[in-house]
Amino acid sequence: MNKLIECVPNFSEGSDKQILDSIAEAISSNKGVTLLNIDPGKATNRTVMTFVGSPEAVIDAAFCAIKVASEKIDMSKHKGEHPRFGATDVCPLIPISNVTFDELVPYAEKLGERVAKELKIPVYLYEYAAKNKERKNLANVRSGEYEGLKEKLTKKTWKPDFGTTVFNKKSGAVAIGVRDFLIAYNINLNTKSTRLANAIAFDVREKGRIKRKGHPVIGDIVYDSKGNPSTIPGSLKYVKAIGWYIEEFGISQISMNLTNINQTPIHVVFDEVSKKAEKRGARVTGSEIVGLIPLKPMLDAGKYFLKKQNRSVGVPEIDIISIAVESLGLNQVKKFIPEKNIIEYYLDTLFDDKKKIIELKATEFSDEVARESPAPGGGSVAAYVGALGSSLGEMVANLSANKRGWEDRVENFSAIANKIDEIRKELLFLVDEDSNSFDRIMTSFKLPNNSEEEKKIRLTAIYDSSIYAAEVPLRVMNRSYDSYKLIFELAKNGNQNSISDAGVACLCIHAAIYGAYLNVKI
């Protein structure tokens, strides 16, 4: 599966359109990245740009943007309300799908090394990319800001992770890191009271509320030994929250930033706010996601609510998302549209110039295979037959999970259905990938073949594409067999009213494995 990451660099310029357009062009000109948003701020004299793509493409685009910013922005003349210490102040890499924090760290290091070497800008690594605890927090890394950077560079404890300690007067420094996706999330209440919304926000946010003697609102503030106000922590880590009234909707909301959705996922936040609201006599009526959200937290939420209902989680992805949307009340104030609000789905609408095979209707797919073009051919059909067999197996698992009297076996059958669902999705991906691998071979044969160097490049391309074209059906064989083992178990121990479905599933899987084998051999 393709790896997808997001990059959200902050540039120390908020009003000069020519400069911002130059930076945006530097990003957009890189193949494989999509610039999603440009958010300039005049008061802060700062602009946030958001773009996505593969890790390799993203760090190339990030370097180009940092380079243009270093040429166009003069930090010695910069003024703005937001803390900053460089022309490109921060440049975080954020995993979206099929990539982990640990896998992203080398990319942050590669980008940092290149920036320091080619642009002579000191680079500090922060968050998950940090080399020590002191540099994990961005506020620590940026302390002293641009004005204190020259002196900071002379301190041994603040030697840059990449680059020299020479002060770059024009560009300052840049912080490059790996961090979690930040979600702007609002929860709706059945009240117009900002005070009540704030009280609930203070109950849950990590920062909590100021500790007071006696009365929790008007009592004297309690101070610690250092003279700072003591606080009572809230119940949710990695959550920032305030309460406010939205005149447009006629309700109060708890407005939150979720800074670590792996540790504190959106569904946990929703349930916790619901509990705290009920204790204070209020009721949660729905919620709102501001901007885009990755697919994973939506799937996690949907599966969470399915488990609460003692239902199987091994169901189609769109059904899981639908459960999440309804359970979180995401349609209350404005309609949640997966194709516009989920990053991966949104990108599919931007990138898909050519319609995928798996998006064709059954009759269209049959017609496409019947045509005289060599692809899609047997490899794609084998993968699709395997996916259909897996679909049947998944159905048997879900019918078994929901069989009356088998309530104590739901978790077991749900786990099997979920495993088969993952296999099914991969086989559907391989339907198109088999056709794509054939196209790669054809493309490599069309490469120039004149000079010795061109011949060498062409032969290498033909070899690599041929190997990959064999690897795809081999994956179909392996994943289909994984599915077969699970379905065979269901045939023995699952709902016997569905034994014929399990049998057809196994026959489909057999055809997929043998069909893919023939494509490996050819």
Catalytic site residue 161? Answer: no
Task: With residue 70 as reference, give the H or E element that holds it.
Answer: helix 55-72
510 is catalytic: no
**Dist. CA 8–CA 349, nearest whole Å:** 21
- What's the rounded Cα separation, in Å, for the pair 64 and 72? 12
Residue 442 near residue 436 (C-beta atoms within 8 A): no
**Other CB atoms within 10 Å distance of the CB of residue 415:** 16
Residues 263 and 238 sit within 8 Å (Cβ to Cβ): yes
DSSP readout, 143-160? TTTGGGHHHHTTSGGG--
DSSP 314-371: -S-HHHHHHHHHHHHTTTSSS---HHHHBHHHHHHHHH-SS--GGGS-HHHHHHHHHS
Residue 119: other Cβ atoms inside 10 A: 20
Distance, CA of 182 to CA of 343 (rounded, Å) = 13
Q: Which of 74, 82, 271, 482 is catalytic?
A: 82
Burial group, residue 352, by CB count within 10 angstroms (0-12, 13-18, 19+)? exposed
d(CA 407, CA 401): 7
Catalytic residue among 300, 432, 434, 501: 434
Tell the residue number behind the tokens 């030697």, with chain if given: 159
Strands annotated E in 42-119: 46-53, 88-97
Catalytic residues: 82, 434
